[in-house]
Amino acid sequence: MNQPHYLSADVIRDRFSRAMSTMYQAEVPQYETLLNLVDQVNRDALARDPALAERLAAYDELERLGVERHGAIRVGNTEELAMLRRLFAVMGMHPVGYYDLSVAGVPVHSTAFRPIDDMALARNPFRLFTSLLRLELIENGALRDRAAAILAERDIFTPAARELVERFEQQGGLTEAEAERFVTETLETFRWHSDATVDLATYEALHAEHRLIADVVCFRGPHINHLTPRTLDIDEVQRRMSKVGIKPKAVIEGPPRRNCPILLRQTSFKALEEPIRFSCRDQGTHTARFGEIEQRGIALTAEGRTLYDRLLGESRTRTLGLDNESHQRILSDVFAAFPDDEGELRRRGLAFFEYRLTETGKAVGKVADSDLDALIERGLVEARPITYEDFLPVSAAGIFQSNLGGGESQVYAGKSNRAMLEEALGGPIIDELELYAKRERRSKERVISALVN
């Protein structure tokens, strides 16, 4: 019997993320400039610091660095989001984390579709930050109904994409030919359309309520609004951006520069203003697509995250309106209270680590001591930092606002609703802290059982 051969989700995701990158490169010329800049800065960083290069190679991070991207999209209703969940599952991408941006004056809540197991992350960690518009937060009832009606008219998926998702669910996989078609058809959902589905007056009414509502409602699909490469030195990229004709936002979001990078640092550049053809032959412009770069560090435990949030909050009142240099200086001062040594981060339970046997550990056979610190001390076990694979709501809000023009000060406070987003998705959101904790716990069990039991 001839068994059909199905491609792995990792292969499909890898192809899709490359296809997306190629499409965005053609759509937004500055993206290519940014990729070249990041590539050069990464090369320089690795050449300057051979130990970093060695470490990244040993941790399976060097390979993925060149392909690593995250993107972002915004969808209009629960049907669109639920279908996206099924579509991303084909590529081994699942909803992880809940981000409430309404507190920052953006009427959306979000999750990130991303791979969840170690091998998949090492292969290609492609992630998509996905926001759902919360029309229920809009007070103007007539406009809310109009927006909902416009959204109900569109189908953001091609018939073939829908059919292939169904086939995947029935068969449990896609063949080479089906996967190829799937990538091509799925790409259509995220493509830019310079023709709007509404007339200029409708666009302007929605825009006046909130720019983001116009962006989500007035087009045929959820155009990818940025695609972010990962750098090893974000301060250097920020410095060099102006030299290649890119104007970054005022400050780098997230924690300051440190010896042991934590979580995520991000900066972006302003969205392009692009010509739009509205219905009834109206002409106008819209700003949707922008550029962003990120630097990733170690994932923090709940305790570490609490400390991070407290320090970030403390610095916030002191950094308001400052330029990046002063902003970073104050952040560094405030974050002096956050341990900056891997050993200390680990012993104080502030960050997640993966435990592995060293070469000596592999050769030693069984030992009497089962204390992890003692085993590390004896050089039998090493603790590797686990990379943060997720996002930060305060940073995301800063990025949203920078690209929405910053004028929005409206706050939709106290409306966080994870259960509502899960219902829209048609399934649970995975807790990111649990993923990191599980990875750490399993690695601990593995080394202990190899050495002790």
Residue 111 as a binder of ligand OOG (CB under 6 A): the answer is: no
Cα dihedral 120/428/397/266 (nearest 10): -10
Structural contact between residues 49 and 248, judged by C-beta atoms closer than 8 angstroms: no
Region from 28-36, 237-245, 370-378, 396-404 binding ligand OOG, contact rule CB under 6 A: 396-404
- Smallest distance, Ni ion to C-beta of residue 225, A: 9
d(CA 168, CA 163): 9
74 binds, among Ni ion, ligand OOG, none (CB under 5 to 8 A by kind): ligand OOG
Residue 35 as a binder of ligand OOG (CB under 6 A): the answer is: no
d(CA 369, CA 31): 53
Count the neighbouring beta carbons within 10 Å of the beta carbon of residue 446: 14
Q: Which of 16, 190, 400, 436 binds ligand OOG (CB under 6 A)?
A: 400
400 binds, among Ni ion, ligand OOG, none (CB under 5 to 8 A by kind): ligand OOG
Residue 395 as a binder of ligand OOG (CB under 6 A): the answer is: yes
* Closest by Cα among 363, 395, 398, 400 to 378: 363
- Smallest distance, ligand OOG to C-beta of residue 109, A: 12
User: Which parts of this chain interact with Ni ion (CB under 5 A)?
Assistant: 72, 228, 292
Residues sharing a CB contact under 8 Å with residue 431, sequence separation 6 or more, in sequence order: 96, 97
Q: Which is nearer to Ni ion, 72 or 183 (CB)?
A: 72
Q: Which of 12, 399, 421, 435 binds ligand OOG (CB under 6 A)?
A: 399
Residue 342 to residues 224, 401, 406, Cα–Cα distance (Å)? 37, 34, 37
d(CA 425, CA 428): 8
Count Cβ atoms within 10 A of the Cβ of residue 436 and give its class: 0-12 exposed, 13-18 middle, 19 or more buried: buried
DSSP at 253 = B
Q: Which is nearer to ligand OOG, 137 or 357 (CB)?
A: 137
Q: Which is nearer to ligand OOG, 375 or 392 (CB)?
A: 392
315 binds, among Ni ion, ligand OOG, none (CB under 5 to 8 A by kind): none
- For 435, the 3-state DSSP assignment is helix
Q: Which is nearer to Ni ion, 211 or 346 (CB)?
A: 211
Count Cβ atoms within 10 A of the Cβ of residue 114 and give its class: 0-12 exposed, 13-18 middle, 19 or more buried: buried
Residue 391 as a binder of ligand OOG (CB under 6 A): the answer is: yes
Which helix (H) or strand (E) segment holds residue 70: the answer is strand 69-75
β-sheet bridge partners, residue 421: none
- Smallest distance, ligand OOG to C-beta of residue 99, A: 8
- Smallest distance, ligand OOG to C-beta of residue 406, A: 13
* Closest by Cα among 236, 224, 306, 230 to 264: 230
- For 356, the 3-state DSSP assignment is strand
Residue 401 as a binder of ligand OOG (CB under 6 A): the answer is: no
CB-closest chain residue to ligand OOG: 396
d(CA 278, CA 255): 42
* Lookup: tokens for 282: 């109206």
* Lookup: tokens for 99: 């981000």
21 binds, among ligand OOG, Ni ion, none (CB under 5 to 8 A by kind): none
202 binds, among Ni ion, ligand OOG, none (CB under 5 to 8 A by kind): none
Residue 225 as a binder of ligand OOG (CB under 6 A): the answer is: yes
Binding mask 344-383 for ligand OOG (x = CB under 6 A): ----------------------------------------
- Smallest distance, Ni ion to C-beta of residue 350, A: 25
Q: Which is nearer to ligand OOG, 7 or 212 (CB)?
A: 212
* Lookup: tokens for 368: 């009497």
Residue identified by tokens 């660095």 is 65
- Smallest distance, ligand OOG to C-beta of residue 7, A: 28
Region from 145-153, 216-224, 368-376, 390-398 binding ligand OOG, contact rule CB under 6 A: 390-398
Binding mask 70-109 for ligand OOG (x = CB under 6 A): --x-x-----------------------------------
d(CA 3, CA 196): 46
- Smallest distance, ligand OOG to C-beta of residue 400, A: 5
Binding site for ligand OOG (CB under 6 A): 72, 74, 129, 131, 225, 266, 391, 395-396, 399-400
